[in-house]
Structure 1
Amino acid sequence: MNKLLVVSAVILNLLLVNQISYADPGHGHKREYRDREARSNFQGNEDDDNLQEKRRLREERGLRRLQQHQWQPGYVMPQHYRGNGYKVDYREQNLPKPAQNQQWYKINNDYILIDSDSNNIIKIQGL
């Protein structure tokens, strides 16, 4: 009799646990989502490599285009050149002193005076 009660309790417990696991509708969905995501990550490595290669080629084309750019007064200096790496000290390069809100930049062997507020090119001086 004792064994019968223990066996029936275990069976009842298993049935209840099984029913509870079916009651969670999101559990199986999460596993399916993880599996799908893992498959896409596996395929995504090739896609990431292609995207990185396309991005690198686009940046190289843009850089070549900027290096061939013909500077003229009144043009707006591209943002690519607005960093501190292109700024120069006018005293070290024997350039005229810039007015307030102006800065000299060295780009492609040219010294370019820029209005710091509008980023417009004011003057171009070759080497």
Structure 2
Amino acid sequence: MKKTLAIIAISLSTLMTTQISSAAPHFDNGRGFDRNERGNKPDRGDRGRQFREDDDDIQEQRREREERGVRRLQQHRWQTGYVMPQHYRGNSYKVDYKDSNLPKPSRNQQWYKINNDYILVDSDSNNIVSIRGM
């Protein structure tokens, strides 16, 4: 009886290992093992052309979105009392009042040049205090 149980156990374990080793990987999805669907694949006719066209469309959409953002920022009308957007608070927009013939700012104030306008901003609250056009 012990021999029969041992033979059955060995047969079942052999059967299980054979089935596991012949199973396909779960990420295959019938497309092969290439995980890089859009990346560095060789051209495969229409399918490769479609990926290139999709990439071109995405790049064009990004470029158009960036251009719209730039136009929107250029059309922005500044008003006193508004809070200056954080995007413009960097050092690249700051100007020295002496070089630009501007009045000396009070304590905790800074002049910025944005889209040909000089904007005086309170550094504590980031509120626009004064605007001078060119």
- Same fold by TM-score greater than 0.5: yes
Give the number of equivalent residue pairs: 112
CA distance in 2, matches of 1:119, 1:111: 15
Q: 1:106 to 1:39 in 2, by over 3 A?
A: closer
Aligned to 1:113: 120
Higher relative contact order (CA 8 A, sep 6+): 1
- Deviation for aligned residue 1:45: 4.7
Q: Which has the higher helix share?
A: 1
Task: Specify the code of the residue in structure 2 equivalent to 1:22.
Answer: Q
Deviation per CA, 1:54-104: give whole Å up to 9, x if none: 122112112112112221101222333222221111122122222333211
User: Is residue 124 of structure 1 aligned with residue 131 of structure 2?
Assistant: yes
TM-score, normalisation: structure 2: 0.62
CA RMSD of aligned residues (A): 3.4
Q: Which sections of structure 1, spanning at least 5 residues, go unmatched? A: 1-15
Look up the match of 1:85: 92
Q: Identity over the aligned pairs, expressed in percent? A: 60
Q: Distance in 1 between matches of 2:70 and 2:25?
A: 50
Q: 1:56 aligns with which of 57, 60, 63?
A: 63
- Distance in 2 between the 1:46 and 1:40 partners? 14
Q: Secondary structure at the match of 1:60?
A: helix
Q: 1:73 aligns with which of 64, 72, 80?
A: 80
